[in-house]
A and B are shown apart, each in its own frame.
Chain A
Amino acid sequence: MDEVRAAIAIMKKDLKTFFRYRIAVVSQIFVPLYQGVIPGLLFGASFAVGGRVIGLEATVGTENLAGFIFMGGVMSGLIATGFWGMAMGLRNEMDAGTLEPSWLTPTRHETLLIGRALSGVVWQVLGQIALFAIGITFFGLRFRTEIIYALPAVLVAVVAMVGVAFLLAAGVLLIREASFFIDTTNFLFSIASGTAFPVTILPAVFLPVAFLLPTTYAVDLLRVSAIGQRPLFDPVLEWAALLGTTALAMFVGRWAFARAVRVIRVRGTLGQY
């Protein structure tokens, strides 16, 4: 119970800090719009024939371009939260000189990340509501009511991303200067999950990597429910793969994090950056 209270306290602290920077809050909504959504929509629409995106329909079984892009954005935002909010958050604490005091509290080290995950999820929900409202109003975003069936898949993906964030946090603790590492791996993870285009378009050599990522199945299940996209596999198989890869991510992530914590305690590098 104490750990839950600590996680909630970290969440509140993070949200309080986040909302103090109002320009940053606004840019968190508008940056995905002008960097991803609008260029993606206009680029996709430039292939339209008679107002129909027949190419997308041939690729994924639906011509709902806005739905395809916005649903990819949901998972892309979740992945970015795992990479930047949770894993890179430790680096920010290093810079601020607050990581050692946090590490010395009786709270478990894993709780520090889980608290960040909670604040990330709260922000994601608020941010996605705002983005969807803008999408529906200005960009013709439409999706089916069956989207609600995909919510459990998104929740499982949140758990998976916590596991991935443990693994990344281990890397951040060991290599310290991690901006490039986080930036590039975030991009590759997102692309390999099929947030921007279906993974079937990826070169064959990358497909095994894509099928090892829980987010690949989560974004596919989300699009299948929300816009009637043709699924990659049978949805039952996708659910099994999602749960299996999530368990794997959590196991490997926690193991790597525990190892990294032990290594930095032995080397005394927690305060170095």
Chain B
Amino acid sequence: MRRYPTLLLSVLFWPILLPASAVLMGRAYSGSNDPQALQAFAERAGTSEVTGFVFVGYAMYMWLSAMLWGPGSALRTEQVRGSLEAVFLTPTSRLVPLFAPPVAALPAMILDFAVIFPAMWLLFGVVLPFDALLRAFVVAAIGIPALYAIGALFASLVLRYGEIGPVVHLTRGIFVLACGITFPLTMLPAWAQLGAALLPPTYTVADTRTVLLRGEGLGAVAGDLIFVVALTVIIAMLASVVFRWLDRSARRTGMLGRY
């Protein structure tokens, strides 16, 4: 990021402009905060704070994007540059290139957090209590390894399919639709809500909203957080197994150097 300053600009631009435009959409749809429309939204979303709801959702959107396009595509970048085989020839465990790149995405994810909430205050005058922000930080810290694991699972697919750009697009779209990121989860049909219950970001985004916008303590979301940790372990193990399996297959078929 230090070498490509426009990347830093994008970290500042998108976390502000994307949710801000969604908040303005909300104003259009609610008739500039018509009480009846806001009441209807509150019944579905659990909060009448549309701005906070949208900004928290877009924080998750930015994290998912960073994770899927960054670490999730890191092996692909190595493959295109022709350096993947060289990396795999080093004595380092194969799992290192799978699980290490997400570390590079962490500063950007923390920066998103640092940009989004001040923007919410400066642009829309929504000030969140400091203790609620701390609780939200804990929820996010528990949720981020799950994104990490999802990114690793995607990274392993590179060894089999090479170009994963369209898959990343599709997956991000599914997460955006299924996890209640840009609209209340209750708007989805029952079968889709059932599917959403198996995705860690659903809990992270809902719990962040709970502690930030409804003022609940961590105890109220403890069950969800434990479930997220369990899902994270399962997905990370799945990523390791899939990666090892695809690695063996790639060595047999010579897929490592092909793209």
Contact = CB atoms under 8 A, between A and B. Distances in A.
Interface of A: 23-24, 27, 30-31, 34-35, 38-40, 42-49, 53-60, 65, 177, 179-180, 183-184, 187-188, 191, 196-198, 201-202
Contacts of B169: 27, 31
Interface stretch (B9-17, B101-109, B113-121, B130-138): B9-17
B36 A54 contact: yes
19 contacts: A30-B170, A34-B177, A39-B182, A40-B25, A42-B187, A43-B183, A44-B29, A46-B44, A46-B187, A47-B30, A53-B29, A54-B34, A54-B36, A55-B29, A58-B34, A183-B10, A196-B21, A197-B27, A197-B29
Contacts of A60: 28
Contact of B25 (A38, A45, A187, A196): A196
Contacts of A187: 17, 21
Contacts of B41: 46-47
B10 A180 contact: yes
> Interface size class for chain B?
35 or more
Contacts of A196: 21, 24-25
Given A27-B169, A55-B31, 10 more contacts: A34-B174, A34-B176, A34-B177, A39-B182, A49-B37, A56-B31, A58-B31, A59-B32, A197-B21, A198-B28
B24 A201 contact: yes
Given A24-B166, A46-B187, A177-B6, A191 B29 contact: no
B40 A46 contact: yes
Contacts of A38: 177
Given A24-B166, A43-B29, A197-B27, A35 B37 contact: no
Interface of B: 6, 9-10, 13, 17, 21-22, 24-32, 34, 36-41, 44-45, 166, 169-170, 173-174, 176-177, 181-184, 187-188
A43 B26 contact: yes
Contact of A59 (B10, B28, B174, B187): B28
Contacts of B182: 39, 42-43
A38 B28 CA distance: 17
Contacts of B45: 46
> What is the interface of chain B mostly: helix, strand, loop, or mixed?
helix
Given A31-B173, A49-B36, A55 B28 contact: yes
- In the A-B complex, list the 8 residue pairs whose CB atoms are closest, starting with the nearest: A58-B31, A55-B31, A34-B173, A197-B28, A55-B37, A55-B30, A43-B183, A42-B183
Contacts of A24: 166
Contact of A46 (B24, B173, B183): B183
B3 to A, nearest CB: 12
Contact of B37 (A54, A183, A197): A54
B81 to A, nearest CB: 15
A49 B40 contact: yes
Given A39-B177, A42-B188, A55-B37, A47 B26 contact: yes
A27 B166 contact: yes
